[in-house]
Amino acid sequence: MPGEVLSEAPQLVRDGENDPWQLEFRFCTGRCFRLQYRADLDASLQFAPASDQYTVDRIVVSSPEDAFGWLHPGSAYPFVLDEKFWRSAQVSDWPWPVRKQLQVSEKPDSFYRDTLGRALMARFQQHPRHWQRLQALQYPVRVKGIPDGLLDELRQVFQP
């Protein structure tokens, strides 16, 4: 694509009456690309060959640096819970007394899930833009460090 020249001005197009508008770029080499707003992908822009229809069946987040990393417990969005400052929702950033409770808990998995749920809820409440982004996601999400189903439970709490 470096050095390619447009054969005409970009055109607004859509494949069907109910399909979204896209900006189509035609190059002298015969290649054709489309620029499309993807609300379903965290309000991203997609620039791809016109013949390609990219679909997503799930979103997987392994670290805070990934796309959608703002969902990861270790993402750097501090919050306050129970009058204590938390740098993130990752266990290593939990206040010391809470980490100690996790260590001595008779049901550590349940304690972890409950505490992480409360921490993420506080974080989303204190960072409303991320709450809006979570509500806008249209795909199943798997995030390392978050038990299955927990994000869906949090989304249900504030359904409009």
Q: Has this prediction a pTM greater than 0.85? A: no
Q: CA 23 to CA 53: how far, in whole Å?
A: 14
For 22-62, how does the pLDDT look when each residue is reduced to its tens digit (9 = 90+)?
999 999 998 999 999 887 777 778 888 988 877 788 899 99
Q: How many domains does the chain have?
A: 2
70 and 18 belong to one structural domain:
no
Q: Which of 132, 116, 112 is nearest to 124 (CA)?
A: 132
Return the half-sphere exposure (C-beta side, CA atoms, 13 A cut-off) of residue 64. 8
Determine the structural domain holding residue 64 and report its residue range. 59-157
Q: Is residue 103 part of a domain?
A: yes
For 93-141, how does the pLDDT look when each residue is reduced to its tens digit (9 = 90+)?
999 999 999 999 999 999 999 999 999 999 999 999 999 888 888 889 9
137 and 70 belong to one structural domain:
yes
Buried b (16+ CB within 10 A) or exposed e, 110-138: ebbbebbbebbbbbbeebeebbebbeebe
Q: What is the rounded average pLDDT for all residues in the chain?
A: 91
Q: How many CB atoms lie within 10 A of CB 14?
A: 13
66 and 129 belong to one structural domain:
yes
21 and 78 belong to one structural domain:
no
